[in-house]
Amino acid sequence: MRKRRMMDQINVVPYIDVMLVLLVIFMVTAPMTNPGVVELPKVGQSLKQKSNPIVISIKKNSKIEVNGKSYKKDSLLVLLKQKLEKDPAQSIVIAADEKVKYGAVISLMDLLKQNEFNKVGLLLKPE
C-alpha cells in the first residue's frame, strides 16, 4: 500500500482565472469613464465690464496690432501705459489667430504681467 504524500505546491490556476475576469471588467469599464470633462460656469450680466477692453491682436505672421496699427513690444507697452493712465479699470484682451504658436501668446502675456498689467485675458470665439 502506497502512502499519499502532501502536495507542496500552490495551485495558482483559480487566481489566474480571477485576475483575467477582473482585467476584462476593467477593460470594458475604462472607456466609459471620462475624467477630462470640465463644465465651465456660465457668465451672467453682472460680470460684464464697465468699459471696453483694449484688444491686442496677434496675426498669423506674429505681428502685434492694436486697433489695426502694428506695434513692436516696447512701443506697445508705452501705448498700454498711456491708455491705462486714463482708465485704470480697463482690461487687456489678447486676440490671437488660431495659427499663431502657443508660445507667442504666452510670451506676450508674460511680458504684460511682468510690466504689472494685471487684468490680462484671452479673447475666444464662442461656438
77 Cβ partners below 8 Å, 6+ apart?
A: 111, 115
- All cell numbers assigned to 41: 460656469
pLDDT in tens, the chain (127 residues): 677 777 778 888 889 999 999 999 999 998 887 665 556 566 555 555 667 888 888 888 888 888 888 888 888 899 999 888 888 888 888 888 888 888 888 999 999 999 888 888 888 776 6
- Of 63, 58, 43, 62, the residue nearest 93 (C-alpha): 58
The structural domains of the chain, ordered by start, are 52-122 (3.30.420.270)
Pairing of strands 64-66, 54-58: antiparallel
